[in-house]
Structure 1
Amino acid sequence: MQFELNEQEQSVRDMVREFAKGRIEADKMKYDESKEFPKHLIQEMGDLGLLGIIFPESYGGSNMSYVEYSLILEEISAVDPSMGLTVAAHNSLGTNHIYTFGSEEQRQKYVTHLTSGKSLAAWALTEPDGGSDAISVKTTAKRDGKEWVLNGSKTFITNPNYSDYHVVMARTNPDTGKKGISAFVLETGMKGFKVGKPFNKLGMRASDTAELFFEDCRVPAGNMLGKEGEGYFDAMSILDGGRISIASMCLGIARGAYEHAVRYSQERSAFGKKIHEFQAIKIKLANMATEIDAARLLVH
């Protein structure tokens, strides 16, 4: 079994590490304290191919592997988990749902726009009364001629204030359980669709997280993603890929914490010497490094 990264993977890792250190690290505390999302980085990430990581070049993507995707999220999250979450939600949830289950026309219209850096994508499943439990979706979509009329709300949605397109799960049939949910692409500015103010979160405060509200929001029938009634199953499939993203982010957070601990141990003095010289501290750092390496093998 090959445990070392190949040349391409090393190149991607080094490129993203340089970007994270050079463009994110210096201002990360400012953005966290102000709850301000650094929107100027969206186009920069698009130019680097970070907003189309796992998608084919024919749709403006970078056509990278999931190992490369994991490396990217680890490197960004090691510097700032807020930006790691932004990239993860855009790629593996919002854009990936459109690419995986959308028609060719929808792919050309939406995916090529999203991979370019012109906008982020949002993915809306969670509601005030239910998280990833898609069966409990209460947002409704009722057919009216060539349109669907949506009513309801979503909460804890990532990227909505900086997204042109939002993938929304809604109940199209109240009587069929799992088979009564469908997915739609909503476009920012649609009448009856409103994005709330960002939440004041405990952590990852630079990541845009807000509520969505639908009040008689009319969506063209052509904006349905996939087949009617299959939204639940499609969402579960998308969440599987999303879990790789979360694991990669957590790996980056752990590595960032470890690197901070190492630096502190080299700077802090006690009893006449740097604390990293004490065996008890060395053991703690060694255990941290071992667990991070083991976690990376599990993720990759």
Structure 2
Amino acid sequence: MPDTRLTEEQESLRKTVEAFAREVVAPVAAAYDEARTFPYPVVAGMAEMGLFGLPFPESYGGQGADYFALCLAIEELARVDSSVAITLEAAVGLGAMPIHRFGSEAQKQQWLPLLAAGQALGAFGLTEPGAGSDAGGTRTTARLEDGQWVVNGSKAFITNSGTDITLLVTVTAVTAVTGRTAAGGKEISSILVPVPTPGFTAGPAYSKVGWHASDTHPLTFDDVRVPEENLLGERGRGYANFLQILDEGRIAISALAVGLAQGCVDESVKYAREREAFGRPIGQNQAIAFKIAEMEARAYVARTAYYDAAAKMLAGRSFKKEAAMAKLFASDAAVTNAREATQIYGGYGFMNEYPVARHWRDAKILEIGEGTSEVQKILIARELGL
């Protein structure tokens, strides 16, 4: 069994972010959600706390903590607002982490300090209109011409790609002249595209069911030219490298899902104590009490799962199966708890002025983003040798 006890330092971080979420994020979350605007002041506050630099070395402007510390912060933010939580998760896990994992020393020195400081955001351009779960179906291309990569293609559903502080987008693209490796597979590489660059366009923001205060755009690349040294990692290793990033990211998304699931418990307990029906608080009714008890159990088990996956990752052990299981279970727990919390609130749960309504709208994407639930099942089955 994984050790779910936090160290004194970890608990201090958790409490600090919990207080920030309660005192700074919660009072403004509904307004940003309704206006569908990016919460720049909140992000600035997170940057001042050092949250964007948590897992990075101090030599690059980071906090010198680890990936688990990042997950703890994401969970606490998501208890209050998923838009803020996914902004942090995507900026660190998807925007900056590929540079930290695979970048040259020059690339790290150039990009990581700004990203770790939260003064700028990075984005991760993998998904395409015709290549979602089948990420290997990438059609975006990048050809070498006179010492420059010339990128053409499009990406879809890219988080943090169109803010006023977006610094770069890392793009996966087919880079071989023939589009194939010697073994016959696609040669997919990763290219760093600074923002702005001529020919790069972030389209209008999507109108989404949830995550209204999170920045999400389609991207187009029309003869976008960047220096040859903007290749991130080895040529032809882009797809494999991003699969590794996604394995890690599933732990962070699990933490976000746990936060949402726990936030639903928080709101349901509060409401069940205050709301009276038939002359007594509804929490005294076994039907409501049992429903909330099951919600708490889901959040606890999901948290234990992502703690275990994170521990294995940080210990240098295989964690692919554990990350997939954590993401599968935690996303289901989030969706179920959001539905149950809405039911407990009754008609009020259908009103956007209550946090459970936002949790309900925000939960579903957790079963889709960074690998659908079906993909997680495929990964788990493969790890079992099936």
Q: Above 0.5 in TM-score?
A: yes
- 1:131 — aligned with what? 132
2:93 equivalent to 1:88: no
Deviation at 1:215, TM superposition (A): 0.4
Q: Which stretch shows the higher mean deviation, 185-194 or 280-289?
A: 280-289
The answer as to whether partners of 1:123 and 1:167 remain within 8 angstroms in 2 is yes
2:44 equivalent to 1:37: no
Deviation at 1:144, TM superposition (A): 0.2
The structure whose RCO (Cα within 8 Å, separation 6+) is larger is 1
SS at match of 1:245: helix
2:217 equivalent to 1:210: yes
2:272 equivalent to 1:265: yes
- 1:187 — aligned with what? 194
The answer as to whether partners of 1:42 and 1:119 remain within 8 angstroms in 2 is no
- 2:175 — aligned with what? 172
Q: Which runs of 5+ in 1 are unaligned?
A: none
What are the within-5 Å matches in structure 2 for residues 215-254 of structure 1? 215-254=222-261
2:121 equivalent to 1:120: yes
- 2:11 — aligned with what? 10
Distance 2:42 2:198 in 1: 29
Distance 1:134 1:292 in 2: 30
> Cα deviations across residues 227-262 of structure 1 (Å, max 9, x unaligned)?
111101111111111101110000001011111111
The answer as to whether partners of 1:178 and 1:232 remain within 8 angstroms in 2 is no
Deviation at 1:71, TM superposition (A): 1.1
What are the within-5 Å matches in structure 2 for residues 149-164 of structure 1? 149-162=150-163, 163-164=166-167
Q: Which runs of 5+ in 2 are unaligned?
A: 308-386
Please report the TM-score for the alignment, with normalisation by the length of structure 2. Answer: 0.76
The answer as to whether partners of 2:56 and 2:66 remain within 8 angstroms in 1 is no
Q: How many residues align?
A: 300
Give the counterpart letter for 1:238 in structure 2: I
- 2:141 — aligned with what? 140
Deviation at 1:178, TM superposition (A): 4.7
The answer as to whether partners of 1:276 and 1:282 remain within 8 angstroms in 2 is yes
- 2:342 — aligned with what? none
Deviation at 1:28, TM superposition (A): 0.7
Distance 1:285 1:127 in 2: 39
Give the counterpart letter for 2:137 in structure 1: S
> Cα deviations across residues 81-102 of structure 1 (Å, max 9, x unaligned)?
0111110011111100011100
The answer as to whether partners of 2:46 and 2:52 remain within 8 angstroms in 1 is yes
Deviation at 1:64, TM superposition (A): 1.7
The answer as to whether partners of 1:42 and 1:118 remain within 8 angstroms in 2 is no
Greater percentage in strand: 1
2:79 equivalent to 1:78: yes
The answer as to whether partners of 1:153 and 1:212 remain within 8 angstroms in 2 is yes
RMSD over aligned Cα atoms: 1.2
The answer as to whether partners of 2:94 and 2:245 remain within 8 angstroms in 1 is yes
Please report the TM-score for the alignment, with normalisation by the length of structure 1. Answer: 0.97
